[in-house]
Amino acid sequence: MMIMTRYALLLLLAFASLQLLCFAADDDVVFYDSFEESFDGRWIVSDKDDYKGVWKHSKSEGHDDYGLLVSEMAKKYAIVKELDEAVNLKDGTTVLQFETRLQGGLECGGAYLKYLRPQDAGWKPKEFDNESPYSIMFGPDKCGATNKLHFILKHKNPKSGEYIEHHLKYPPSVPSDKLTHVYTAILKPDNEVSILIDGEEKKKASFLSAEDFEPPLIPSKTIPDPDDKKPEDWDERAKIPDPDAVKPEDWDEDAPMEIEDEEAVKPESWLDDEPEEIDDPEATKPEDWDDEEDGEWEAPKIENPQCEIAPGCGEWKRPMKRNPAYKGKWSPPLIDNPSYKGIWKPQEIPNPNYFELEKPDFDPIAAIGIEIWTMQDGILFDNILIAKNDKVAESYRETTWKPKFEVEKEKQKAEDEAADSARLAGFQRKVFDVLYKVADIPFLSKYKHQILDLIEHAETQPNLTIGVLVSIVVIILTIFFKLIFGGKKQPRVEKKPEVAKTSNGEGSSGEKAEEAEKEEAAAAPRRRRRDN
């Protein structure tokens, strides 16, 4: 039944993916690289001296699916792929999507992509580095307190001609596991951008909103006047000392904060003649100690043990207490400042770089680059896609990412359960070891067999461990309360033993009973404590 259900789910997934692909025209896929073939000849590795990290064409762990792998730790990496034709971001919807798998985790480093402007902006593939101009930077970045899915737009100010980095405010955080995740940014014609992780929308923002990007794409209409200076007589003090206040005549500034407590009395058992510290009687002079070079040897000091059992040692002094006459330095009270003008700010003037904007003036994307500095290896990039239809991106997620993710998730779940089971088994083994020691406690000897029965039962059924613990605690408490509240023992009445023998010379019935008890005890198997 389980197998049939899985087959049905796979067929349903395949059918849904086929439907999604049917909706997408070939023209909707602008660029796609699955890395099933080696990247050599298609992607260009930077020749810059700083970028010594080696890229590899490698399988994702546990799959036959290939990707572009960051193979070394603590290195800088740079690689770029030129597009056959530049992508116009101003034309309809544009979807940027790619997969990453942090096979070794990510403690400090980036795993983002840069979508580069055309080369006439001043860069060359062989010289690709962190200064190469890009239009958009998108992807995971984590180090220290930083943990976010970057979305950065470089936008040109039409007034100043300067390119400004505009960062998405409050971006979503990056998954911290070692599974394959797919990141999607959908740039829409209504000036919105939608950020997805594993197909789930995590953030929606407007390019033209000052609440969504820092700094905002549209500058403020006014700015503080850089030439405006604060007047010399500008008073920003809200409160000032009262100039008419006079120190009271009885105000004693010289009175100390603390004085001796005259009512204190030395404890009777105070050891006046005992020092607080004494020479360590167990200390011995080192054999290699040279008095001429090292000076006269002195034993190290230890606290005087006599002082630990007494209220104190040495010279007794009265303790200090707070001086009721202490007032400290006098200062006049504060009053409202009649000359207060508030906190000074430069006046606002029209912003010479202000402009109005109906739509972002995106620069086209001419190449895709990965330029990162990471302390981890094992970062795998795969299924890099640029499309003009978000249904296309969805179909690729369903067919290329989701099957891998489901396999990895099930494997991770099994590993976590195995680890939890191992931790539980180790805990139970320690519990059983302690219980065997409890069973050996002399005052529990009467109940030892009962306790051992409980332990052995729990060892065959580990889920009963807590119940066994409770049962043993109940036994111990029962014995404890019997010892406390059991009452007085009844007086023992001794009887003279009857030594009459039967006519055939056999022992009395009492002797027979005693022998029977010994035989029964000898026949009973002795329980041995388990050591494993």
Report the amino acid identity of residue 118. Answer: P
Identify the top-confidence range among 403-407, 421-425, 468-472. Answer: 403-407
Instruction: Give the length of the chain.
Output: 532
For the four alpha carbons of 225, 226, 228 and 232, in that order, the dihedral sign comes to: positive
Residues 481 and 494 sit within 8 Å (Cβ to Cβ):
no
**What pLDDT does 17 receive?**
44
Task: Say yes or no to pLDDT of 382 above 90.
Answer: yes
Rounded to whole angstroms, the Cα distance separating 441 from 433 reads: 13
The beta strands (E) that lie in 11-64 are given as: 29-33, 44-45, 55-59
Token pair in block for residue 122: 């001043």
Count the Cβ atoms, other than its own, within 10 Å of residue 485. 7
Measure the CA–CA gap between 286 and 302, rounded to whole angstroms: 18
Query: What are the b/e assignments for 384-398, b being 16+ CB within 10 Å?
Result: bbbbbbbbbbbbbbb
Spell out a b/e string for 240-270, using b for 16 or more CB atoms within 10 Å of the CB, else e: eeeeeeeeeeeeeeeeeeeeeeeeeeeeeee
- Per-residue model confidence (pLDDT) at position 486: 54
Instruction: For the beta carbon of residue 86, count every other beta carbon within 10 angstroms.
Output: 16
- Residue 319 to residues 50, 256, 260, 332, 512: CA-CA distances in angstroms? 68, 15, 6, 34, 81
The helix or strand, by DSSP H or E, that contains position 202, with its residue range, turns out to be: strand 200-206
Q: When comparing pLDDT for 92 and 495, which is higher?
A: 92
C-alpha 146/C-alpha 150 separation (Å) is: 10
Q: Which of 158, 152, 146, 130 is nearest to 215 (CA)?
A: 152
| Side chain identity, residue 267 | P
- Residue by residue, DSSP assigns 151-195 as EEEEEE-TTT--EEEEEESSPPPPP-SSSEEEEEEEE-TTSEEEE
From the DSSP assignment, how many helices (H) and strands (E) are in the chain? 8, 25
Give residue 464's pLDDT.
62
Dist. CA 371–CA 112, nearest whole Å: 8
Stretch 245-266: mean pLDDT, rounded?
92
Mean pLDDT of the 115-143 span: 95
Mean pLDDT computed over every residue of the chain: 83
Q: Please, what sign has the CA dihedral across residues 245, 251, 256, 261?
A: negative
User: What number of other Cβ atoms are within 10 A of residue 438's Cβ?
Assistant: 17
Across 285-310, average pLDDT = 89
Cα separation of 486 and 133, whole Å? 89
Question: How many Å apart are CA 119 and CA 131, to the nearest integer?
Answer: 13
The encoded tokens of residue 399 equal: 């067919």
Please answer whether residues 471 and 450 qualify as being in contact, where contact means their C-beta atoms are separated by less than 8 angstroms. Answer: no
In this prediction, residues 70-87 reach a mean pLDDT of 94
CA 47, chain centre distance (Å): 37
Q: For residue 47, what are its two tokens? A: 């020749």
Report for 68-72, 447-451, 508-512: range of highest mean pLDDT: 68-72
Can you tell me whether residue 448 is helix, strand or coil?
helix
Q: Is the pLDDT of residue 53 over 90?
A: yes
Confidence of residue 482 (pLDDT cuts 50, 70, 90): low
User: In whole angstroms, how far apart are CA 138 and each of 98, 172, 183, 310, 415?
Assistant: 10, 12, 9, 72, 32
Asked if residue 423 lies in contact with residue 406, where contact means CB atoms within 8 angstroms, the answer is: no
Lowest mean pLDDT among 192-196, 208-212, 451-455, 491-495: 491-495
Token pair, residue 129, equals 């580095």
Distance CA 341, CA 435 (A): 78
- Residue 326: pLDDT band with limits 50, 70, 90: very high
Question: Measuring CA to CA, which residue among 133, 113, 126 is closest to residue 46?
Answer: 126
Which pLDDT tens digit goes with each residue over 83-111? 999 999 998 999 999 999 988 777 788 89
In this prediction, residue 490 carries a pLDDT of 44
Q: Name 350's Cβ contacts closer than 8 Å, sequence gap at least 6.
A: 221, 222, 223
Q: CB burial class (10 A; 0-12, 13-18, 19+) of residue 99?
A: buried
CA gyration radius for the chain? 42
**CB neighbours of 51 closer than 8 A, spacing ≥ 6?**
45, 75, 76, 77, 78, 129, 371
Amino acid in position 409: K
Strands (E), 375-521: 379-387
- The vertex-201 CA angle with 70 and 365, nearest 5°, equals 55
Q: What angle do CA 370, 374, 379 make, to 5 degrees?
A: 65
Residue 453 above 90 pLDDT? no
